[in-house]
A and B are shown apart, each in its own frame.
Chain A
Amino acid sequence: MKKYFAIFSLTVKEYFVYRLNFILWRVRVFINLLILFFLWSSVFEKNPQFGSYSKDSMLSYIIYANIISNFVLGTRTPEIAGYINDGKIINDLLKPVSFFTYYFTRDLADKAVNMFFFFFELALIVLLFHPNIHLPKNIFFGIIFLINGVLISYFANLLLSFIGFWTTEVWSPRFLFMMLLFFVTGSYFPLDLLPAPIFYLLSLTPFPYFFYLPSFLSCGFL
């Protein structure tokens, strides 16, 4: 157990080696959130209702969706592909730690750092926009699906990194994956706003279960 704690704290430390880099990363996350809020505020300027959402419920959704997406998506697995390509992966395989657990611990560290700072950024956004946040209603199911989402995300990311065993083209499939993820996971807008047939098709893929479902549940729509 102690060794996992060591892995965890070491990963956290890595973030603070390059301070400026770290700050700029957080600024980027913040700007992203900012754009989303401005966008939806603008949409609700003329119409008080958008689909089945009011301004407050939409902004609440966006908040939960982004908390969850930041948590689920935080990962260190992309570096694995690089290690496979240049052979450094051997170092990790030779360690007396389960490969999967090792990287899962690193992922948890990434998520922890992400979440910690994200709450400050979120607080700033809430201060600026004063949305009336709906409190989460279905926390229990939300958490279950959250854990599920984290696991799905972890293994999907691993799969992507393992492409490195076959080719040096590791960034392009990941880039494609990230682009798809951007929308179909519902972090930009709630997926039930899509036309029904598309929504149905999407439900057959694993994407919505990354975080649309947890957020949706938290907002109490189920």
Chain B
Amino acid sequence: MIQVKNLTKIYKTTVKGSSFFSDLFNRKYKEVVALDKVSFEIAGNELVGFIGPNGAGKTTTLKILAGILYPTSGQVNVLDYFPFDKKRSFLKQIAFVMGQRNQLLWDLPALDTFQLNKEIYEVSDDRYHQIVDELTSLLNAENLVEKPVKTLSLGERMKMELIATLIHNPKLIFFDEPTIGLDLFSQEIIREFIKKYQKQYRATIMLTSHYMEDVKRLAKRIIVINKGKILYDGNLKEIVQKYSSTKLVTVVLESKIDQIKLSSIGNIISYVFPKVSYKIDRHLIPEKIDLINRLLPYMDLTIEEEPIEEIIKKLFSGKK
């Protein structure tokens, strides 16, 4: 469905000079490499999480795939179209949900925007009513569609935005930071919705976020990008095994132990009596557990994987 090969995007911006005249006659340009020979492929019925810090190139990638931005070089093929051509048949199959930005007509009820999109995407009457009913019940939003958009809360508006964007039942959906700025409750609702939608309609979804929670809950496959380069493309579970060299060992102590003794076991991450957490190298686990058994009187001991957030952070800072 999506094939990207050696995609490069370079932004050229003017740098403000020091004086009035230098700006006019001697403009200086700054080139920012947003994407650097990015390649990946996505098949149908996949939900892919696209993660990276701010400025990594996530949004740029999505916008090129949706036809908004023109690639500097490389090949982009989405649904067998070159997206920038913006062919009508191409655009009718995709949708793009941008967090914090909406297409809802402000002064009018959301229903008016739905009907506008129905006309724009040429959705048949039957299909339209069916989709609106299905989506409003999935989101529990039947009572919201007739209220003027400006009277809705941010979370409610996001629900209406989702329905408006999906009226035409697209095959391919881009979600760019869909939960940003929302309260935890609304974030949960959006995540649930995306999960159910993908299952029910078998759409291909590309989701960007810098909330790990979004990605953990929704995506099996993730693509990690930083500074325009792909750092990892594969299964979420595998990334832990591949890149994590440490485990988190938490011990609940029975009685207070001397600090020096505690430190002798290993690298302490946190210590608030009675809980002490260590970061221990995988290979050393058996040895360290043995040490803990001998030296520390404990009530409970847990061994966990390094949190994914930490792994990703390591990827971003270039460690392995």
Contact = CB atoms under 8 A, between A and B. Distances in A.
Complex contact flag A–B (Cβ < 8 Å): yes
Interface of A: 16, 19, 23
Nearest to B21: A19
Contacts of A19: 20, 23-24
Contacts of A16: 20
A9 to B, nearest CB: 15
A134 B79 CA distance: 75
A16 B19 CA distance: 9
Nearest to A23: B24
Contacts of B23: 19
B315 to A, nearest CB: 40
A19 B24 CA distance: 8
A167 to B, nearest CB: 17
5 contacts: A16-B20, A19-B20, A19-B23, A19-B24, A23-B24
Interface in B104-123: none
Contacts of B20: 16, 19
B38 to A, nearest CB: 34
A101 B23 CA distance: 34
A52 B23 CA distance: 49
Contacts of A23: 24
Contacts of B24: 19, 23
Nearest to B19: A16
B25 to A, nearest CB: 11
A213 to B, nearest CB: 37
Interface in B1-36: 20, 23-24
B16 to A, nearest CB: 9
A19 B25 CA distance: 12
B150 to A, nearest CB: 14
B18 to A, nearest CB: 12
A215 to B, nearest CB: 32
Nearest to A17: B16
B217 to A, nearest CB: 38
A23 B21 CA distance: 12
Nearest to B24: A19
A16 B24 CA distance: 12
B152 to A, nearest CB: 21
A17 to B, nearest CB: 9
Give 4 nearest A-B pairs by CB, closest first. Answer: A19-B23, A16-B20, A19-B24, A19-B20
A16 B20 CA distance: 7
A23 B20 CA distance: 11
A169 B244 CA distance: 60
A168 to B, nearest CB: 13
A97 B248 CA distance: 59
A100 to B, nearest CB: 31
A120 to B, nearest CB: 14
A16 to B, nearest CB: 6
A19 B23 CA distance: 8
Nearest to A16: B20
Interface in B194-236: none
A116 B20 CA distance: 16
A26 B24 CA distance: 15
B19 to A, nearest CB: 9
A179 to B, nearest CB: 28
B29 to A, nearest CB: 16
Nearest to A22: B20
